[in-house]
Amino acid sequence: MKRVGFLLKVRQDKVEEYKAHHGKVWPEMLEALTRTGWGNYSLFMRDDGLMFGYFETPDSFQAALDGMAKEDVNARWQEFMSPYFENLGGQHPDESMVQIEEVFHLD
């Protein structure tokens, strides 16, 4: 199992609205994440919108992203969520995730 951490930046003026949407993620999106290997998935956010995401996947970060890229619901979700993020440069949020290196782990 691979542990993956990534960063994204939510627009500070959209933080509360972003959180509200994640309180009611579409069931078909949740099913797609599970189906494509996004397990033990969590998002953490500072007040300024800097967000850290963590999940575990059987293969790799890229394989998990590739799996979701094949899911129609993911394209719809990414389009829906795009206005909430800073510095996407015309990409969807899942194309702008900055993976961070794991430097320590304790079981």
89 falls in which pLDDT band (50, 70, 90)? confident
Residue type, 104: F
Contact at 8 Å (CB) between 80 and 17? no
Q: Does the residue 87 lie in any domain?
A: yes
> Which CATH number characterizes residue 21's domain?
3.30.70.100
User: Which pLDDT tens digit goes with each residue over 34-82?
Assistant: 999 999 999 999 999 999 999 999 999 999 999 999 999 999 999 999 9
For residue 11, tell me if it sits in a domain: yes
* Domain span holding position 31: 2-100
Q: How far is CA 5 from CA 1, 14, 66, 72, in A?
A: 13, 22, 16, 24
pTM score: 0.91
User: What's the rounded Cα separation, in Å, for the pair 77 and 81?
Assistant: 6
SS3 77: helix
Is 17 among the domain residues? yes
pLDDT at 88: 87
Query: What is the tally of structural domains in the chain?
Result: 1
Q: Is residue 106 part of a domain?
A: no
- Nearest residue to 75 via CA among 89, 87, 91, 88: 91
83 within some domain = yes
